Chains A and B, each alone.
Chain A
Amino acid sequence: MEKTSKALPDIKDWGIDADPENDPTYPMKPNRTDEEQNGYNWERSVQQAETVEILKSTERPNLSAVFGTSVPPKGLSGAIRRYAYKNSEGQFSHWLPLLIADRVNVVEGIFDDLKKGKIPNIYAEIGFKAMWKYNRKAAVARIAAHVGIVSAVGLILFRGRIFNDEKLIKKALKNI
């Protein structure tokens, strides 16, 4: 895209009401130069080597000179993230897939732990000890909720089994 020229001297009365004190960025911009009006042409630090996969915003032309390299995208969550980064930051199709990827990543994290032979101690990870010490009511409520969920799942499976057993019994009776 062609750049707009900085000054427009051929416009009648150009700048006659300009007021340098009308600056809501003061004092956040103590050295106001407006040099970005000349575009992306500052002296950059040497570019960090891309040793792992880095997903880049579509709203910039390059990788920033430095970047973090923690947890490169992988698995299903990585695929969702790669899709998300095809859309600009101004679109929900960028952010919502990222939130979904984060949730998928939680499940992947549990499988990763199990693959390494580690059973995640979820009660320790949520800080249950502190909750028990300082807010026993919440701790008991959380245990009750977990027991409730496990019981509900168990009941569903158990009822299914009875149903299956009844069908088996009927089938067996027919064969007699």
Chain B
Amino acid sequence: MNYRGPGRVRAEEKPMPEILHPEDCIVKVLRSCICGSDLHLYNGNVPDTRVGSTFGHEFVGEVVELGSEVNKLKLGDKVLVPFNIACGKCSFCRQGLYGNCHESNPEATAVGGIFGYSHTAGGYDGGQAEYVRVPYANFGPTIIPEGMDLDDAVMLTDVVPTGYQAAEMGGIQPGDTVVIFGAGPIGIMAAKCSWLFGAGRVIVIDQNEFRLEFVKNYAKCESYNFRSLGDPVEFIKKTTDWLGADVCIDAVGAEAAGSAMQTITGRKTLLQAGSATALFWAINSVKKGGIVSIVGVYGPTGNLVPIGNVLNKGITIRANQASVKRLLPKLIDHVQKGTIKPKALITHRMPLRNISDAYRIFSDKLDNCIKPILIPPTAKE
């Protein structure tokens, strides 16, 4: 995959990645996904996204080459690779903040290294490819348990942990009302996981009818189209005895629709770091003393959000990139026991060579697309 500019990608031969550090390994990709946050790159909203980059931070594969100091993996191992690149040794990693590693990104301190996510996230080529260089191979890559479907495994690299952590950061108490903005894969997973923390009511807000229908059936929750609600904040107040939700989750980030001003300033003219409509609604919809959990991705500059309301309502904001490695043992168990069935979200399977069409379908939400998966030519179905 080769990025050529906003809205333009193509499949192209690139040189084989090489071992550049003794703790690297090379992984032959068996499955990769396009993530909603890839669309921020695709649309040119993330600074320092260079032409010629390969995106893709959700992938699984087979180890085909090992650096001299890699001793936790062997050739032929099938691994799922967390989207964040973590050393496991720095102070942040040692405390479980694997999404905030300090030894994987020289270009910015605000974010750790992420595969295929611009030079702002370390300048690594990503997994929408046949082969990928994977640093810190003794720490990050996790062997896929025997019998686990590769489609389930690839969803454990980002979608499941991010959705789960969105709910976890909500600090959901038994009986809480949780409102999730966004019915994309992360919002759907956050809705599913909110029940695991004891939510009493789960409401999802989006504008795509097919996604709302899907989340209603998959996560057994309420779902509403904000286009038909009028003002979604007023609706949430009204449906919660005029108090607001206990927990609101922003599972959209920079590509949010629903406010002309946010769209023009955030997406069309880039005067702010993406359209913050979902976060704006989340802050205004949560009750006093409530919690807003953010997993939607925004750029590094600034956004128009009602920060005064955060103060006056005593809201706690909790946010982070998912700490995939921390959550994997629990989530692998949930998948193996059937508590979470992630591959049900996959609606499209496409060959990697059709990457341009895959991005268009996912970006424009065509053909009722929820989650597309890419199969490289070297991977056998």
Whether A102 lies near B44 (C-beta < 8 A) is yes
Whether A67 lies near B89 (C-beta < 8 A) is no
Size band of the interface chain A makes with B: 35 or more
Q: How far is the CB of B90 from chain A (nearest CB, A)?
A: 5
Q: Name B's A-contacting residues (CB within 8 A).
A: 4-10, 20-24, 44, 47-54, 69, 85, 87, 89-92, 94-97, 102-110, 113, 119-120, 122-125, 135-136, 165, 168-169, 270, 299-301, 316, 318, 320, 323, 326, 356-361, 363-364, 366-367
- Chain B CB within 8 A of A59 CB: yes
Stretch at the interface among A9-17, A125-133, A146-154: A125-133
Interface of chain A, main secondary structure: loop
In the complex, 28 of the A-B residue pairs with CB atoms within 8 angstroms, ordered by the A residue number, are A24-B318, A27-B168, A28-B97, A29-B95, A30-B95, A33-B95, A35-B91, A51-B20, A55-B119, A56-B106, A66-B24, A67-B105, A67-B122, A68-B113, A71-B53, A71-B119, A84-B48, A95-B47, A95-B299, A95-B300, A96-B301, A102-B49, A105-B50, A106-B4, A109-B51, A120-B10, A125-B4, A130-B366
- Chain B CB within 8 A of A19 CB: no
Q: How far is the CB of B246 from chain A (nearest CB, A)?
A: 16
Q: Name A's B-contacting residues (CB within 8 A).
A: 24, 27-33, 35-36, 40, 42-46, 48-49, 51, 54-57, 59-60, 62-71, 73, 77, 81, 84-85, 89, 92, 95-96, 98-99, 101-103, 105-106, 108-109, 112, 120-122, 124-131, 134-135, 138
Alpha-carbon distance A43/B4, docked complex (angstroms): 39
Residue from the set A49, A68, A102 with the largest chain B CB neighbour count within 10 Å: A68
Q: How far is the CB of A86 from chain B (nearest CB, A)?
A: 13
Selected from A66, A81, A96, the residue in CB contact (under 8 A) with B113 is: A66
Alpha-carbon distance A117/B330, docked complex (angstroms): 52
Q: Which residues on the B side are within 8 Å of A56 (C-beta)?
A: 106-107
A35 — nearest CB in chain B belongs to which residue? B91
Q: Which residues on the B side are within 8 Å of A99 (C-beta)?
A: 47, 270
Alpha-carbon distance A51/B97, docked complex (angstroms): 29
Alpha-carbon distance A109/B51, docked complex (angstroms): 6
8 closest Cβ pairs, A-B complex: A127-B360, A68-B124, A68-B123, A106-B5, A98-B47, A134-B366, A109-B51, A130-B357
